[in-house]
Chains A and B, each alone.
Chain A
Amino acid sequence: DVKVTQSSRYLVKRTGEKVFLECVQDMDHENMFWYRQDPGLGLRLIYFSYDVKMKEKGDIPEGYSVSREKKERFSLILESASTNQTSMYLCASSPTLTGFTEAFFGQGTRLTVV
């Protein structure tokens, strides 16, 4: 079974802190994604990566950066956390470049910024 693991289920951080969310997948997938889920807004793409050290902005990249130094690991970085970044963060991976396959999601990280 494909496994996508996010390092934390719940996090509470203070405004202005630098926050790292880590994600690891164990199926040698090419693509990895970071989404956030908010009520009434669905899943919105923050960043994705189609190869090591490659990244592309999604629909809402402002206030975030990412790092992919190894194929299995994709990190989301909140440079200076703000209360409007309180959300459920979801990491996903998929095996191909064509999109004709499903993405596999981690269990999510509920981040609260106070």
Chain B
Amino acid sequence: DQQVKQNSPSLSVQEGRISILNCDYTNSMFDYFLWYKKYPAEGPTFLISISSIKDKNEDGRFTVFLNKSAKHLSLHIVPSQPGDSAVYFCAASEAGTYKYIFGTGTRLKVLA
């Protein structure tokens, strides 16, 4: 049973435009959400996170939005750059359980 889902395996966006990556979850006990970026043959690197008491968190070009009622979060990248081309994973955590549950990833390609 996939508790964290990324339904779009891939996304292509023109350089300078907005990239929107989506993630849905089923477990209402999740209270912390994260986005990671992964290049081939490297480990994932942390991008941005949001706790369930917020609905938006911004860090430079990256903004994460959380809609708790819809159990949906999204990552916006504005403006998109070719170096943003990577696989993006969303992850969720429930306080006290220690572990992070990851989605299947979305491969973003930013076209120059």
Which A residues are within 8 Å of any B CB, using their own CB? 4, 9, 31, 33, 35, 40-45, 48, 50, 56, 58, 90, 92, 94, 97-100, 102-108, 110
Instruction: Pick the interface stretch among B14-22, B41-49, B63-71, B77-85.
Output: B41-49
On whether the beta carbons of B95 and A105 are closer than 8 Å, the reply is: no
Q: How far is the CB of B98 from chain A (nearest CB, A)?
A: 5
Residue-wise interface mask of B (1-34) relative to A, using a CB-CB cutoff of 8 A (1 in contact, 0 not): 0000010010000000000000000000001101
Secondary structure of the A side of the interface?
Answer: strand
Query: Are A107 and B42 touching (Cβ within 8 A)?
Result: yes
B102 adjacent to A105 (CB under 8 Å): no
Contact B44 A99 (CB under 8 A): no
Interface string of B91-107 (1 = CB under 8 A from A): 10111111111111100
Cβ contact within 8 Å between B96 and A102 = no
B100 and A105 within 8 A (CB): no
Main secondary structure of the interface of B (DSSP, over half): loop
Contact across chains for A104 and B99 when beta carbons are under 8 A apart: no
> Which A residues are CB-close (under 8 A) to B103?
42
Binary interface profile of B, 37-58, with partner A (CB < 8 Å = 1, else 0)? Answer: 0000111111001010000000
Residues on A with beta carbons closer than 8 Å to the beta carbon of B46? 102-104
Known: A90-B44, A102-B49. A43 touches B89 (CB 8 A): yes
Distance from A92 Cβ to chain B, minimum over Cβ atoms (Å) = 8
A–B complex contacts, Cβ < 8 Å, 12 sampled:
A41-B104, A43-B89, A90-B44, A97-B96, A99-B31, A99-B32, A99-B96, A99-B98, A99-B100, A103-B34, A107-B41, A110-B41
Chain B residues in 8 Å Cβ range of A50 = 98
Q: How far is the CB of B85 from chain A (nearest CB, A)?
A: 17
